[in-house]
Amino acid sequence: MIKNVHGNTVDLLGEDIVSGRYPVGVAIPPEPLLCEALGVSRTVIREAVKSLVAKGLLITGPKLGTRVMPEEHWNWFDPDVVVWQSKIGFTREFLRDLQELRRVVEPAAVRLAAERATAADITDIEAAYVGMKNAIDNGGDYVTHDLRFHQGLLRACHNRMVIQMSKALGALLRTAFELSTARPDGPANSLPLHRAVLDAVIARAPVRAEKAILVLIDGAGDDIDEVLNSRRKMPSLALPAARLKAPGAAPQLG
């Protein structure tokens, strides 16, 4: 997606903050310097700062200036923040937090989905599964279908707050799926685990569904650990979703 001047300015400042170029507690450069460095007007800088304040990265006030906030104040459900972090590189702590979040949210949601999913919900999740399988069999975009599968499960629990959370979780979930897909055998190994989750939801078996999603999440965690330990290049969410090559060729990112 092509961004306008405001969006590009937010990205540039956001990346500088997340990378540590502007340390926590330190004031960012004054408007005139930022205008000159980024080649934009004061109005653009002010609007960008407002956006970063809303995302929790900056605080501004009288006699305070505009200062960088600690990471715990950042909105990690904001897709921009997650993308900026992906460009810098995911830390083990970030990925640990993500895995723990998935283990808290998804099992409970899937248990409810097994009780409440409608025929339309099942159709949507089945379509996502078919897309995943097709990407493995013939090459293509696996990650987007994987994301649709999991967000479909979250929607199928028919809890309004979880559904809202599923939208916010999108970038975080894609992070996990990109990393898992970076392991050559990751998608093929995880496909039957996805099928087990879907079959349990179709069978209206909440306990089985909950156990199946935990196996899937923990398997993804193992994939992530393997990728981290291999020192492979980490995927960037600023790029298109990972695509698989046809059978007989290694997966590639980008």
Summarize pLDDT for 63-97 with one digit per residue, the tens.
Answer: 888 999 999 999 998 989 988 998 888 888 888 89
| pLDDT bracket for residue 252 (50, 70, 90) | very low
Inter-CA distances, 67 with 28, 33, 55, Å: 6, 15, 13
- Residue span(s) of the chain under CATH 1.10.10.10 come to 5-73
Please write the tens of the pLDDT for every residue from 183-220: 778 899 999 999 999 999 999 999 999 999 999 999 98
pLDDT tops 70 at residue 237: no
Q: For residue 236, count other CB atoms closer than 10 A to its CB.
A: 15
Q: How confident is the prediction for the chain on average, in pLDDT?
A: 89
The residue behind tokens 């723990």 is 100
CA atoms of 112 and 48, how far apart (whole Å): 40
* The predicted structure's pLDDT at residue 229: 81
Q: Taking a C-beta distance cutoff of 8 angstroms, is the pair 165, 172 a contact?
A: no
Indicate whether this model's pTM tops 0.75: yes
Instruction: Note the maximum CA span of the chain.
Output: 63
Please write the tens of the pLDDT for every residue from 7-18: 999 999 999 999
Q: Taking a C-beta distance cutoff of 8 angstroms, is the pair 189, 89 a contact?
A: no
- Residue span(s) of the chain under CATH 1.20.120.530 come to 90-244
Q: Taking a C-beta distance cutoff of 8 angstroms, is the pair 153, 110 a contact?
A: yes
pLDDT tops 90 at residue 164: no
Which tokens hold the place of 130? Answer: 């078919």
Superfamily for the 90-244 domain: GntR ligand-binding domain-like (1.20.120.530)
* The predicted structure's pLDDT at residue 253: 44
235 or 120, greater pLDDT: 120
CA atoms of 135 and 145, how far apart (whole Å): 9
Please write the tens of the pLDDT for every residue from 170-189: 888 888 888 888 777 889 99
The CATH architecture that domain 5-73 belongs to is: Orthogonal Bundle (1.10)
Burial class (CB in 10 A: 0-12, 13-18, 19+), 219: middle
Please write the tens of the pLDDT for every residue from 17-72: 999 999 999 999 999 999 999 999 999 999 999 999 999 999 999 888 899 999 99
* The predicted structure's pLDDT at residue 90: 82
Which tokens hold the place of 95? Answer: 């990925």
